[in-house]
């Protein structure tokens, strides 16, 4: 087996025993990237020289028997939405194409402190808004299992680089499913921790009450290793939870006796692809044969999840993205052109004697804002800002935003009730496997509906994980989603690992 087919945990062992150097491993990743990323397009930027320097430095420290972090020498790819001081952080947007943050995000700082090798930045939907990575301003990412299909989104680049064996570890972010859905569509493991489990300091904000950073890996064991490193209270993120981080990596291989698994009857309704239905049901049977008790539960408000999410997330986004105005950093429109346009319009209105028109004319500053944002943002981002602005505006706030917040609580209450009877909820991650590139670009609402199974976990703040549970006849991955109570990552990981160890899906690699 090539080193690139091995899990991060296996590689850590080899690195520690001196069977493999980090420089060799990093070079193997870089070679693989050079060989296949032309077809996949997972990476926005790869810093070969820096990665090799980091790797060599770690090899030297290891040779001197110095203390090393838990990820020492392991290459990690990071979704281009987390700040790193002095390095480009673009969010796949023209608005931030040249943006270099003046500080490290907590997650990146923790990866560095753990001695990971930062390989490069992965492609994403612009500002994390999308479910296919097609909204990137820079490039398209292809699903390694079928290059004509999307890898999902918005963490499509991170999912694809794991699936194509370009790196053993990757970081994604999940606001409405953006780690779990691409993990499912790319046949890898992706986990969204409990809201507040991982610091959002330095994570470019999309929807502040929903965003979470999480691991994308080949195995649940690797996810446990990575999430343990990035989790923890951060005084610089006032929404981060002041709770100790359990040693997930130490317990992940311990099966759970007496595990109670629920499946929501609403998840198996019309619209679910027959092959997905079959694979997920087979997974439930596998859990039964492992000694778990499987029973039906109900999440009655789940069907309102997409609507609730597509009011709340765009509302929060409209506020968060107001900062991109061309004033302090990022893209600014061409001021000369703008002033010429202003002068021309003013002249025209004066000539026509249109005083009202003159009074309503956008000032230079407002014009700068409007043009900067029109030129810097892509269509999906604009759509969501518009949707959010509308939902929050006077006259609509109660009917949309406030209403959605109430349904949000009901969605959370459904979970609380279900978790009185079961410990984990299992079900599909998407209704269908990976769709073709371009299939949904003209139908934003259809794209939003793909999020049906994933948004509720973000709305409720609970953790969710997706792992492979089969393949369609056409060879496309099928994902199984597991959800757990807030702060119950340990049970979630152990429960997922039980299934993983009993099956072979996670060992399959894309034939690229």
Question: Residue 442, Cα to own-chain centre: how many angstroms?
Answer: 23
Nearer to other proteins, 371 or 491 (CB): 371
One residue of 38, 64, 65, 238 binding other proteins per CB under 8 A? 238
Nearer to other proteins, 115 or 325 (CB): 325
Residue list 306-365, contact with other proteins (CB under 8 A): 306-308, 310-311, 318, 322, 325-332, 335, 338-339, 363-365
Cβ(457)–Cβ(483) below 8 Å: yes
Our finding on whether 406 is near other proteins (CB under 8 A) is yes
Our finding on whether 194 is near other proteins (CB under 8 A) is yes
What tokens does 282 get? 């087979």
**Shortest Cβ 357–other proteins spacing (Å):** 14
Q: Which helix (H) or strand (E) holds 192?
A: strand 189-192
Our finding on whether 399 is near other proteins (CB under 8 A) is yes
Note if 79 is an active site residue.
yes
Residue 418, SS3 per DSSP: helix
Of the candidates 312, 54, 310, the one whose C-alpha atom is nearest the C-alpha of residue 208 is 312
Active-site hit among 105, 154, 155, 158: 154
Our finding on whether 471 is near other proteins (CB under 8 A) is no
**Shortest Cβ 407–other proteins spacing (Å):** 5
Our finding on whether 367 is near other proteins (CB under 8 A) is yes
Residue list 274-313, contact with other proteins (CB under 8 A): 301, 304, 306-308, 310-311
Query: Which are the contacts of 123, defined by CB distance < 8 A and separation ≥ 6?
Result: 41, 42, 43, 44, 80, 92, 133, 136, 138, 139, 141, 156, 157, 160
Greatest Cα-to-Cα distance within the chain, rounded to the nearest angstrom:
83
Nearer to other proteins, 52 or 405 (CB): 405
**Shortest Cβ 87–other proteins spacing (Å):** 13
Write the burial class of residue 511 (CB in 10 Å: 0-12 exposed, 13-18 middle, 19+ buried). exposed
Our finding on whether 102 is near other proteins (CB under 8 A) is yes
**Shortest Cβ 53–other proteins spacing (Å):** 24
Residue 483, SS3 per DSSP: strand
231-254: burial string, b at 16+ Cβ within 10 Å, e else: bbebeebeebbeeebbebbeebbe
Our finding on whether 128 is near other proteins (CB under 8 A) is no
Our finding on whether 87 is near other proteins (CB under 8 A) is no
**Shortest Cβ 79–other proteins spacing (Å):** 21
Active-site hit among 79, 105, 132, 249: 79
Q: Which residue has the tokens 């302090």?
A: 328
Q: Tell me the C-alpha distance between 203 and 181, whole Å.
A: 20
Nearer to other proteins, 254 or 334 (CB): 334
φ, ψ for residue 147, nearest 5 deg: -65, -15
Our finding on whether 486 is near other proteins (CB under 8 A) is yes
Nearer to other proteins, 293 or 382 (CB): 382
Our finding on whether 370 is near other proteins (CB under 8 A) is yes
As annotated, the active-site residues are 79, 154, 178
């Amino acid at each position: 087996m090539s080193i690139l087919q091995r899990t991060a945990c296996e590689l850590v062992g080899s690195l520690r025993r001196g069977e493999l150097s980090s420089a060799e491993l990093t070079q193997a990743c870089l070679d693989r990237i050079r060989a296949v990323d032309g077809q996949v397009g997972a990476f926005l930027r790869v810093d070969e020289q820096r990665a090799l320097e980091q790797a060599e430095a770690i090899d030297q420290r290891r040779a001197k028997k110095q203390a090393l972090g838990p990820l020492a020498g392991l290459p990690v790819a990071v979704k281009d939405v987390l700040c790193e001081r002095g390095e480009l952080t673009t969010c796949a947007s023209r608005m931030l194409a040249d943006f270099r943050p003046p500080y490290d995000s907590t997650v990146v700082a923790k990866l560095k402190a753990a001695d990971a090798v930062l390989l490069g930045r992965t492609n994403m939907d612009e500002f994390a808004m999308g479910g296919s990575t097609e909204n990137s301003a820079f490039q398209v990412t292809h699903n390694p299992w079928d290059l004509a299909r999307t890898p999902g989104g918005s963490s499509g680049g991170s999912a694809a680089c794991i699936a194509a064996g370009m790196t053993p570890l990757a970081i994604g972010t999940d606001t409405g499913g953006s780690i779990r859905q691409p993990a499912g569509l790319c046949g890898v493991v992706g986990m969204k921790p409990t809201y507040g489990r991982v610091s959002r300091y330095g994570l470019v904000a999309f929807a502040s009450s929903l965003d979470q950073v999480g691991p994308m890996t080949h195995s649940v064991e690797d996810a446990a290793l990575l999430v343990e490193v990035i989790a923890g209270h951060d005084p610089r993120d006032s929404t981060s939870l002041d709770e100790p981080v359990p040693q997930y990596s130490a317990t992940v291989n311990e099966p759970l006796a007496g595990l109670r698994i629920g499946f929501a009857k609403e998840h198996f309704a019309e619209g679910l692809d027959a092959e997905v239905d079959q694979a997920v049901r087979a997974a439930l049977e596998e859990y039964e044969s492992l000694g778990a008790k499987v029973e039906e539960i109900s999440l009655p408000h789940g069907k309102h999840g997409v609507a609730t999410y597509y009011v709340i997330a765009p509302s929060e986004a409209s506020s968060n993205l107001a900062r991109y105005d061309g004033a302090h950093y990022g893209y600014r429109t061409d001021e000369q052109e703008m002033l010429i346009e202003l002068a021309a319009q003013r002249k025209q209105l004066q000539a026509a004697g249109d005083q009202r028109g003159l009074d309503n004319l956008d000032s230079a500053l407002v014009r700068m804002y409007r043009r900067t944002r029109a030129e810097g943002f892509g269509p999906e981002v604009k759509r969501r800002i518009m949707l959010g602005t509308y939902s929050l505006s006077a006259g609509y706030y109660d009917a949309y935003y406030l209403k959605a917040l109430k349904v949000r609580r009901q969605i959370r209450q459904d979970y609380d009730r279900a978790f009185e009877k079961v410990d984990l909820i299992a079900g599909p991650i998407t209704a269908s496997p990976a769709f073709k590139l371009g299939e949904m670009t003209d139908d934003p609402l259809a794209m939003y509906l793909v999020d049906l199974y994933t948004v509720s976990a973000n709305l409720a703040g609970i953790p969710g994980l997706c792992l492979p549970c089969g393949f369609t006849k056409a060879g496309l991955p099928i994902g199984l989603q597991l959800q757990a109570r807030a702060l119950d990552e340990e049970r979630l990981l152990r429960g997922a690992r039980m299934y993983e160890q009993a099956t072979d899906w996670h060992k399959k690699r894309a034939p690229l």
